[in-house]
Amino acid sequence: MTKVHSISPKPLTYQLLDELVKGGYTLEISGEAQGLINHCRDYLDKKMEDHDAPIYGITTGFGSLCNKNISRDELSQLQKNLVMSHACSTGDEVTPEIVRLMLVLKAHALSLGHSGVQLVTVQRIADFYNNDILPIVYDRGSLGASGDLAPLSNLFLPLIGEGEVRYKGDKRNASDVLKEFGWEPIELKSKEGLALLNGTQFMSSHAVYGLLRAFRILKLADIIGAISLEAFDGRIEPFHPNLHSVRPHKGQIETAANIRSILEGSELISRPKKHVQDPYSFRCMPQVHGASKDSLAYVAQLVLTEINSVTDNPTIWPDEDLILSGGNFHGQPLALSLDFAAIALAEIGNISERRVAQLIFGLRGLPEFLVANPGLNSGMMIPQYAAAAMVSQNKQLCTPASVDSIVSSNGQEDHVSMGANAATKLLRVVDNVERILAIELLNAAQALEFRRPAKTSPKLEKVMADYRKQVCFVEEDVVMYKEMEKSLEFIKSIRIDDIL
């Protein structure tokens, strides 16, 4: 049965967005939201009847053309021209999940009743989502300052019967799909094009999607790190609660508690050790994983504020008879925080790769490269190369986008956030870290077999049993990339709540 989400001023949550991103929902515009949208539009229509002074973006041109006045009979054409001329995103297609988020986030922002759009416009955005008609948007072209002008223009071209959509897996002209549904193109009224195009929904949709994946990555890092600790014959003392109570960072305390819980009942972790300390990549998991958790918690809260905000321009307060042109479309809050998120996630990959390296060095009774007959077999030699390559690429991707700016629109838009670049590169870091963790699990599971017949904890024995149904122990060399891909698919499907 299809679930229904009522678009309303009620704040969006990550739990809800995690469901909406997958589709299979029906969006309905609540009565409260309909009232707010209509109230603002009615106010603007009446304002236009008796107001002669220019209002930016409503009776003027855009950007550096803000001094060009537009006659009343050209206001609709002005908005249509805006959408067409600004549709300049380029590069690779944005994934369906993120396009769905863009539609949801824009519909939500417009429903707050400060944008002056028609109800039919918001309804058509919901119709696209409900029928999985996903406009073709490309991932480059936004400066992240006057909103995400270029990609949002591509997103909303289909509203006016232009552009392309992906429908039932096929790339098609939007006009043809509109005809199939019996929908007329939306006749944009004053200010509507600007309401659709100004806004941070490209950046914030990437941010939400990246964070949803990051939340899972942080839990996986604790689980896989615990398996590596067992495989390396590591010590449990660095995870003792007393250590973390005297340095009580929330993420640090959480990570130590997770590791203790995961390893409860383990024969391996409780047996006597010859060594008195483990390398930092094992011993300092609470401090490193925890710092990334705390950093991402900050970013997540900031993004939550952003997606529940009004970010188009100008902004309208009907009851106060107030129309203000400002800069809420500027992506600086997102740009800075998404750079921060990329750095925090990259460190999860960095420490993971170091654990991989320790496992293949031939230490603590483990064979070199984790293969019984090294020399004839290379074993786990090159998966570590792949992990190291992605760790280094992440370092390059973590060069901040937010410190950059470039002048646009003939000098009118003289400081931009580059938040869209921060957003898209964050997803590349997310993808790399997932793959690095999959390689760590491949190595840790391999190393754990050399500790048999000793057993790890009941939780991890169950994980290993499930893992071995998909990824086999490597006795002799095999085509390794296939095993890496199987490991990646496993961590994407594993039920984390059964472990943590």
Q: Which pLDDT band holds residue 59 (cuts at 50, 70, 90)?
A: low
Query: Are 250 and 294 spatial neighbours (Cβ–Cβ below 8 Å)?
Result: yes
In the numeric block, the tokens 């000098």 are attached to 411
Domain final residue pick, 199, 224, 242:
199
Dump strand ranges (E) for 354-478: none
Residue 65 scores a pLDDT above 60: no
Mean pLDDT of 368-373: 89
pTM of the model: 0.94
Calculate what percentage of the chain has a pLDDT beyond 70: 95
Query: Are 110 and 139 spatial neighbours (Cβ–Cβ below 8 Å)?
Result: no
| Token output for 474 | 């490597």
121/185 same-domain check: yes
Is 25 tagged catalytic?
A: no
144/247 same-domain check: no
Per mean pLDDT, which range of 64-78, 143-157, 290-304, 442-456 is the poorest?
64-78
Domain extent for 133 = 3-199
101/191 same-domain check: yes
Q: pLDDT of 322-355, one tens digit each?
A: 999 999 999 999 999 999 999 999 999 999 999 9
Count of the separate structural domains present in the chain: 2
Q: Please tell me the total number of residues recorded for the chain in this structure.
A: 500
358/423 same-domain check: yes
Q: Which pLDDT band holds residue 90 (cuts at 50, 70, 90)?
A: very high
378/424 same-domain check: yes
Given the residues 25, 43, 56, 467, the one annotated as active site: 56
* Mean pLDDT, the chain, integer: 94
213/191 same-domain check: no
Distances (CA, A) of 57 to 89, 118, 312: 21, 16, 11
CATH classification of the domain holding 456:
1.20.200.10
Residues whose CB is less than 8 angstroms from the CB of residue 125 and which lie 6 or more positions away in sequence, other chains included: 103, 106, 107, 110, 156, 159
Nearest 10 degrees: Cα torsion 229, 230, 235, 240: 80
Query: Are 469 and 488 spatial neighbours (Cβ–Cβ below 8 Å)?
Result: no
For 430, list phi and psi in degrees, rounded to 5: -55, -50
pLDDT value at residue 154? 98
347/216 same-domain check: yes
Q: Which residues is 27 bridged to in the sheet?
A: 5
Query: Are 364 and 234 spatial neighbours (Cβ–Cβ below 8 Å)?
Result: no
Nearest to 150 by CA among 166, 163, 133: 163
Q: Is 319 exposed, middle or buried (0-12, 13-18, 19+ CB in 10 A)?
A: exposed
Q: Which pLDDT band holds residue 409 (cuts at 50, 70, 90)?
A: confident
Q: Which residues is 135 bridged to in the sheet?
A: 165
Q: Which pLDDT band holds residue 76 (cuts at 50, 70, 90)?
A: confident
In the numeric block, the tokens 């500790």 are attached to 451
140/163 same-domain check: yes
Q: Which pLDDT band holds residue 49 (cuts at 50, 70, 90)?
A: confident
pLDDT value at residue 275? 94
Mean pLDDT of 409-415: 82
Residues whose CB is less than 8 angstroms from the CB of residue 66 and which lie 6 or more positions away in sequence, other chains included: 56, 57, 60, 412
| Token output for 28 | 């309905």
Helix (H, G, I), strand (E, B) or coil at 354: helix
Q: pLDDT of 263-301, one tens digit each?
A: 999 999 999 999 999 999 999 999 999 999 999 999 999
Domain final residue pick, 199, 226, 244:
199
| Token output for 414 | 């003289």
157/140 same-domain check: yes
Residue 421 scores a pLDDT above 60: yes
pLDDT value at residue 430? 98
169/239 same-domain check: no
Q: Which pLDDT band holds residue 236 (cuts at 50, 70, 90)?
A: very high
266/178 same-domain check: no
pLDDT value at residue 71? 64
107/182 same-domain check: yes
Residue 9 scores a pLDDT above 80: yes
CATH classification of the domain holding 104:
1.10.275.10
Domain final residue pick, 168, 199, 230:
199
Do the strands 3-7 and 25-29 form a parallel or antiparallel pair, or are they unpaired?
parallel
